[in-house]
Amino acid sequence: MNISFQITCKNITQFIEHWSSKYIYSNEQKYDDNVGKPLTAESRLELFEWKNGSVISAKKIESINKNYPLIFEGSQEERYLNHKKSGGAIWNIFYIHCLNPTQWPIYDQHTFRAMKYMKTGEITEIGNTNKQKYESYINEYIPFIESFNNINHRKLDMALFAFGQFLKIAKKYA
């Protein structure tokens, strides 16, 4: 017996409407209240708690204080999109997204998986190394997001995240 499924949307608007409605993430208010605004110690912590999905451990708070200043001066790209610098790729990308959400789209394993599926029809996982994550973000993900002209990027992110979560489950059965 061969059982399969197909995912079909007539257009990107329908895709975004459908999948963004499936988006569920805890403490969304922490993101909405703080992203793209000047950081305070409290807002920075709330953003990273949102990204982490829970309260941050003391060890992670130390890392946040060390790697993600309240005011960053210098080249965001040189510091936070460089595999030779400290901090993990996903948190570094998240930090520059928080500083400038219109220039730097949010990125993680789920949005990567959704992008790859939309481009190739294959369920592919994000690379293991920081270098692979930065390369896919810069060379593939940013151009992918930019191809959606006049689309609300937050709603697109929510749709990609939810779709990517679905694909993670669907992969077990594909």
**Which of 62, 85, 102 corresponds to the end of one domain?**
102
SS3 content of the chain, % helix, strand, coil (to 5): 60, 0, 40
Residue 173 and residue 170: Cα distance in Å, rounded?
Answer: 5
CB 81 within 8 A of CB 121: no
Q: Are 86 and 110 within one domain?
A: no
Both 88 and 113 in one domain: the answer is no
Residue 18 falls in which region: left (phi positive, over 0), alpha (psi -120 to 50) or beta: alpha
Query: What tens digit of pLDDT does each residue of 75-96 get?
Result: 999 999 999 999 999 999 999 9
Range of the domain at 136: 105-174
Last residue of a domain, one of 53, 84, 102: 102
Is 61 within the bounds of a domain? yes
Judge if 165 and 134 occupy the same domain: yes
Tokens of 137: 């973000």
Mean pLDDT of 55-77: 94
**8 A C-beta contact, residue 9 and residue 163:** no
Could you tell me if 35 and 46 lie in one domain?
Answer: yes
Q: What is the pLDDT of residue 95?
A: 97
Please choose, from the candidates 57, 153, 55, the residue with its C-alpha nearest in 3D space to the C-alpha of residue 107: 153
Two structure tokens written together for 25: 């993430």
Q: Within this chain, do residues 98 and 109 fall inside the same structural domain, yes or no?
A: no
Same domain, 89 and 109: no
For residue 150, the model assigns a pLDDT of 85
Residue 16 within any structural domain of the chain: no
Number of domains in the chain: 2
Q: Which tens digits make up the pLDDT trace of 110-119?
A: 999 999 999 9
User: Domain check: are 52 and 70 in the same one?
Assistant: yes
118 with 61, same domain: the answer is: no
φ/ψ of residue 49, rounded to 5 = -65, -40
**Is residue 130 a part of any domain in this protein?**
yes
Which helix H or strand E contains 7, and what residues bound it?
none
Q: Are residues 110 and 170 in the same domain?
A: yes
Inside any domain, residue 89:
yes
Per the domain annotation, does 40 fall within a domain?
yes
Among 64, 79, 102, where does a domain finish?
A: 102
- List pLDDT tens digits, range 1-28: 556 667 788 999 999 999 999 999 888 9
pTM, entire model: 0.92
The two structure tokens encoding residue 7: 């995912």
Q: Are residues 64 and 80 in the same domain?
A: yes
31 and 62 inside one domain: yes
Q: Are residues 31 and 85 in the same domain?
A: yes
